[in-house]
Chains A and B, each alone.
Chain A
């Protein structure tokens, strides 16, 4: 028992803690609340109609000046900008302008610096981003938004991206799972019922891609599938397609599906193989002696007994596919991107970690639902990973 502690610590530090922090970040955003406490206190009494009282202008002027001195005004501006575009420049410009002003009336000063301060939308944006705990990222992740009056509606058409991306991720993962099953089932059957020497050799062939670098494998697909690639050259050479009609098989969804199916195939084959190996060939003989045709014997006797392996393999491939990042990034082009590429974008480029966390949280919940569903339908104790 004690010997497991290092592993548990390792998992805790490198997996559970970051996971928890990301999930926390998806609902908890204290930047604005920490920077503008007084302003937000006053705005709390404001009804959202018309303009807030002079006190609010005074407070935000003071707090923006302080934020500028503490160099946090950029962060605050960025947060508010996510709710209302144009806010970033408004905030930085106003903060810069305020340094020359020492006394009010603050409303006139600020509207003087930028007319936008005379519009309620700006104040609503400030108030919305000022909440420490917010469902904003989750709403955002499912293409919804909260209006100033507090009601929740869908994003305008042109800003809906995540839901369609999630559906795309789901159906692509489903298609890849199905492809892996269709391709993997026969080979697993062949390996499971071959004599040991041949079985080992075949298993090795299945596993070789496992031991090859992901990048090498992906690059190989690029060489094969690209417009000037091997496959297209062959098709042109045998006259199946014209030189100007070369097929686009990569940097789109086709590329993503082909490469990911290849990468994930072993995860389907191994659990299937281990389940099939445990099925004595005698069962098929028995079915035949009882009068069943090979098809009947397969459908009624063999297939049901492989279901734990089918379930395990499918679950594994599907879950891995949902979260797959590197392959779509390399061969997916713009139409072959999946939800995890969007998560990566928000982590690395837009730095909207809250939204990245929310997208990740939704995927995590989806996988968990699948797991529970599987448990209900098949029973998780029958899940059999090689």
Chain B
């Protein structure tokens, strides 16, 4: 746990609090294990993880469609286990939207107001305001079936907001949209979040989506939280090998700790001696993972510039406009990657060249050892 994981905002009780929440459907396997999270008022928190990581289950427990097997969920300090979904006052955007197909857009939006017994005039006013918020003015009379995917998405968001809940949950809301529309909607959701200052708990498996919108991201794996932190911290300072692998791109080297020296330690990886930041507690002899961002790797640097320098063979090159991507064999891995920004120039590197690569000691993080099954996608390892 680092300082970033503490209470954000800091004023009074958190809006949402999970306290040791576990969930099992069959009584033996836990799909969520001891989940703890505090969400401040107005915060945008994303639960990020691959399928089966338990993120949707957590959201459904908060919405009230599932109940925790053990643990407690609080909304504004109140325990909500006994409250049915309709009394929790939470706006929810479902996967595939769940817009009522037999109602017009206007009727869909008016529905939550109607069941709250709001008068027709106020209802109309709120519906118009909500449609304006998602930029769908004048669409009241359409049916969901007549709208494009992006428009349906906006209606679903408007419906979750129209009764002015202070907490909104979104379950992979952009999953059904194509890429460009998805990016557009990410900024839309961020704008709406800023305008309304509502608390949003968002679920996705798309790390880029999470990075764009979130104040903090909780990375989940097999029902367990790997790390909870703001996007830039997750990227710069991953604390678990899974986070290093899941967020952005990372070179991951596997080796054994040789010696420990305070905050640093020396690791033997693929017969190279590497000095790295000791993020996890480790002793000499422990197996560990080292992570280095490709953009922090320099090819053929001036001697003595970096704390780590190793030899490498260039296997492939790709020019990607803003950067050159160099695939190398280094430190016992065949897929060691360096990204050279276009402004630096690449000094005539060719496939087959033997080069030197270097990086700063603190850019290289010692993380927990990935088991074979953790990294089964990488079969081409040479150690």
Contact = CB atoms under 8 A, between A and B. Distances in A.
Interface of A: 280, 282-283, 285-293, 296, 300-301, 304-305
Contacts of B112: 290-292
A299 B90 CA distance: 22
B163 A285 contact: no
A246 to B, nearest CB: 49
Given A290-B115, A291-B116, A293-B115, A285 B102 contact: no
B243 interface: no
Nearest to A296: B115
A289 B91 contact: yes
Interface residues of B, number: 26
Interface stretch (B35-43, B93-101, B176-184, B320-328): B93-101
A289 B100 contact: no
A287 B111 contact: yes
Contacts of B159: 290
Interface in B75-126: 84-87, 89-92, 94-96, 98, 100-102, 111-112, 114-116
Nearest to A292: B115
Contacts of B61: none
Contacts of B111: 287, 290, 292, 300
Contact of B86 (A289, A300, A304): A289
Contacts of A286: 92, 94, 98, 100
A285 B89 contact: no
20 contacts: A280-B96, A282-B96, A282-B98, A285-B65, A287-B100, A288-B65, A289-B91, A289-B160, A290-B86, A290-B111, A290-B115, A290-B163, A291-B86, A291-B116, A291-B163, A292-B112, A292-B115, A293-B86, A293-B115, A300-B115
Where chain A touches its partner, the secondary structure class is: helix
A104 B96 CA distance: 96
Contacts of B101: 305
B133 interface: no
Interface string B50-81: 00000000000001110000000000000000
**Which of B63, B65, B111, B159 counts the most A-chain CB atoms under 10 A from its CB?**
B111
A43 B159 CA distance: 80
Contacts of A296: 115
A92 to B, nearest CB: 68
Nearest to B90: A289
What 5 A-B pairs are tightest by C-beta distance, nearest first?
A290-B112, A286-B98, A289-B92, A288-B85, A282-B98
Given A293-B115, A300-B111, A304-B102, A288 B96 contact: no
Given A286-B94, A291-B112, A305-B102, 10 more contacts: A285-B94, A285-B98, A288-B65, A289-B64, A289-B90, A290-B112, A291-B163, A293-B86, A300-B115, A304-B102
Given A285-B65, A296-B115, A300-B111, A291 B98 contact: no
Contact of B85 (A282, A285, A300): A285
Contacts of B100: 283, 286-287, 301, 305
Contacts of A285: 63, 65, 85, 92, 94, 98
A283 B116 CA distance: 18
A282 B91 CA distance: 14
Contact of A291 (B89, B94, B96): B89
A280 B160 CA distance: 19
B336 to A, nearest CB: 45
Contact of B63 (A283, A289, A292, A304): A289
Contacts of A283: 98, 100
A292 B85 CA distance: 9
B102 A288 contact: no
**Which of B89, B94, B95 counts the most A-chain CB atoms under 10 A from its CB?**
B94
B100 to A, nearest CB: 6
